Amino acid sequence: MKPTAPTRIFAAWLVAAVAALGALFMSEVMGLAPCVLCWWQRIFMFPLVLILALGLFPFDPKVTRYALPLAVMGLGLAAFHVLLTLGIIPEALAPCRQGIPCKTIQIEWFGFVTIPLLSLFAFLIINGLLLAAHRSSSK
């Protein structure tokens, strides 16, 4: 059975919801202060939870038109943040002038999984699912 557009949008919503809840858990429960880039990634992730849910009930195939720009911009920010933490982009280009430096690695699981990398994976998955849903609903 081939996945349908609503199934893909639901999966994208699920990824966005888990990412949003994870971000809130890390900041509110674990006490990790988000940097400026983390805040901007949240600005693009949190509305996806609401937009994708509203596009599912009742199903609206046009929801990808509203969700994809947020997901693409979030993906760009997450990629920038990962490259910054890896040292590929110089810290002078980071927007973090106050608070936690954007290059700071607060969590590192398995020696390489950081919070910006988790965000990058979430946005990659969401973008892939939304593009697949858009293609299948436009046929």
* SS (HEC) of 79-102: HHHHHHHCCCCCHHHCCCCCCCCC
d(CA 94, CA 89): 8
Q: Domain containing 55 — which CATH number? A: 1.20.1550.10
Cα maximum dimension of the chain = 51
Residue type at 131 in one-letter notation: L
Q: How far is CA 61 from CA 39, 45, 82, in A?
A: 29, 20, 32
Give the lowest-confidence range in 13-17, 36-40, 86-90, 115-119: 86-90
d(CA 122, CA 128): 10
Task: Please count the structural domains in the chain.
Answer: 1
Q: What is the pLDDT of residues 21-65, one digit of tens each?
A: 999 998 899 888 888 888 899 999 999 999 999 998 888 888 999
Partners of residue 109 on adjacent β-strands: 113
What pTM did the predictor assign? 0.88
Residue count (the chain): 139
